[in-house]
Each structure stands twice: as structure tokens, then as C-alpha cells.
Amino acid sequence: MAIAMAMAWVALLAMVLVQPTPAAAGRPLRAVMISPYGKGVPFDSLAYQGLEDAAEKHGLQVKLVEARDQSEYESQIQAMAELGYDIVFALHDYFAEPMKAVAPLYPGTTFILIDSQVDGGLPNMLSVAMEPQEGCYLAGIAAAHATQSKKVGFIGGLDHPIIIQFLAGFEAGLHSVDPEIDISVAFSGVFDDPVKGREMALAMIDRGADVIMHAADFTGVGVLKAAAERGVWGVGVDLDQSDVAPGHVLASALKDARGAVRAAVQMVVEGTFEPGVMIYGLEQGADLVAIPADLSFYREHPEVLAAIERAQEEIKAGIIVVPKTTKTR
């Protein structure tokens, strides 16, 4: 009798363990994205657009959550897992350690960190990185052809390895065309202050720069507007920023967060999710650069477009390997 009851309990336990999750039983997958900035900066807005794209394609229920206080990052991630979200996204390296702390507690939840190369070493955590140097290299080619003063500027949000990748690619692209071009570099220390971006860009223009690239999120909006104000070229990042300063954005080096988020969701939906680190680049279908080909500059200099296209093919073929660091950083 005791043996029979024990076997019955084992059978019941097995039934409980193999019950499908609500999503597997037909409930739509639920995904949340945690951002330190919300839609206030271009990159984070672009990433959430990717989640909205995935929602439309796969029938997900999605939500965006802002978490501005770093001391609450871990509790925010845990709260989203407790609420039953199937996929918890977070943006940028700031969330790496908090996510690594929470993910083991919720083995049935998928945790995805966008814009990071931190390997959590966990079966339910993935970091997705979009290496920006390749798109910046192509933008640098355009800038090298456009500058007349042979002085260009670069304004980053922070002196941080990820931002240095933007600088390294841009500098390499410039010098692949003309090694004599001088590049001035400055860091704003902030990603959401367009007034400061404008002031820094104007100072560079006063020193002779006639092309300025930024890697400073919303601060960079001020950089591009300063370029338009003074009649010089700006170079945007992350998404096509030609509408920020129409007629004055030479190119935008893309960090395809939108495509990366779509690809990550696709893996979860199709059951092909693999933990660790994924690089989302040209081989995975990422767009590298947005060129406003209707600019008179490109109509007058079609050879520049040809040079950019040739370089992109050589990057894809492995002929050009774009550096992630500069000689000094």
C-alpha cells in the first residue's frame, strides 16, 4: 500500500513538473525592457522599437520601464521577474551585475542584456553587443572626403571602452583616406544634455573643425544642431539622425539595437536561444551606416558612395578589420 501511494505521489509530481508554462499553453509571451533613460535617448528608443517590432510579429505583450536610480537596478529586474515576464531585457553594461545576481533565482525566465559583452555564465542569460566601430569606419570615410580644413572633431559621452570603439572606427576610416587629417577628441561626461553638446561642438568649430561626429546619445543632438548652425557637417550615431539637422548630417553610424532586439526575441520564440554573448553585426544582418544619398555632396561626389560600398564589402569579407582602440586609448 505504501509503495502504491508513493508511486501515485511520484506520478502526480511528474504531472506538475511537466505542466506547460502559461505562454506554452497559449498565453502570449510577455517581455519587458528596463532602461536607465527610457525613450529620452536615441539608442534606448531604438532598442524599444525593436521590441515593439517583435511584439507585432510574434504577438508579444511588451512594456518599457525606466530605472534611473542605479541602486534599484537589481530590485527592478527582480520585480519584473516576479511579475511573470517571460523575457526581461535591460539596456547597457550598468545592468550586468544586477542581472547576473537575479537570473539564477528565476530559471524559467530569459534575461537579455543589450549593449554589453558581459558573459553571465548562466543558462538563461544572454548579452548582445553591437560593435559600432565598423559603421563608424564607413562614416569616417565620408568625413575624410567632406572635410576641407582637414580638421574634424569627435565628442563622446564618456571616456569608456564602448565609446572608444566609436572613436577608433571613425579615426581609422578617416585615416584610410587621408592620414594627415587631425582629429580633436572631447568627452561630455553626460548623455542627456544637448546644450552641453552644442557648446562643445561650437568650441571645436571655432578651432577649425568642419566635420564633427558624436557618440553621446541625446547630448549629440546638440552637436548636430551646432553643425547646422555653423554650416558644417555633423555625423550621427545609433540611428539615422539626418532629420535632426536636415542637410547637415553627412552620415549616421548605426548601432542596430532595433535589429539586435528583434533577433534576440526571434531566438526565444523559435526555441534556439543560446546563453552567453552574441555579436550582432554585418554577418547577422545589421545595418552599419545611414547615408542621406540625396545630399548634394553625394550627387557631386559619387565616388564617395562607391568608396563606402567598397569598404563595407571588404569589412564583410574580412579584408578590412576595423580596430576597437586607438593608438592612445
Mean pLDDT, rounded, of the chain: 91
**What are the pLDDT digits (tens) for 24-33?**
556 899 999 9
Q: How confident is the model at residue 327 (pLDDT cuts 50, 70, 90)?
A: confident
pLDDT at 185 over 50: yes
Question: CATH number of the domain that 60 lies in?
Answer: 3.40.50.2300
pLDDT at 5 over 80: no
Do both 109 and 122 map to the same domain?
A: yes
Nearest partner of 250 among 143, 136, 141, judged by Cα: 143
| 100 found inside a domain | yes
Q: How confident is the model at residue 9 (pLDDT cuts 50, 70, 90)?
A: very low
For position 182, what pLDDT does the model report? 98
Sign (positive or negative) of CA dihedral 90, 93, 98, 103: positive
Do both 107 and 36 map to the same domain?
A: yes
Do both 181 and 226 map to the same domain?
A: yes
Structurally, the chain folds into a number of domains equal to 2
Q: How confident is the model at residue 285 (pLDDT cuts 50, 70, 90)?
A: confident
Do both 206 and 308 map to the same domain?
A: yes
Look-up: residue for cell 536636415? 246
| 5 found inside a domain | no
Do both 304 and 180 map to the same domain?
A: yes
Distance of CA 100 to the CA centre of its chain: 20
Structural domain including 231 reads: 133-254+293-317
| 234 found inside a domain | yes
Do both 81 and 182 map to the same domain?
A: no
pLDDT, average across residues 151-178: 97
**What are the pLDDT digits (tens) for 87-121?**
999 999 999 999 999 999 999 999 999 999 999 99
For position 37, what pLDDT does the model report? 84
| 68 found inside a domain | yes
**What are the pLDDT digits (tens) for 24-59?**
556 899 999 999 987 777 889 999 999 999 999 999
Neighbours of 27 (CB within 10 A): 13
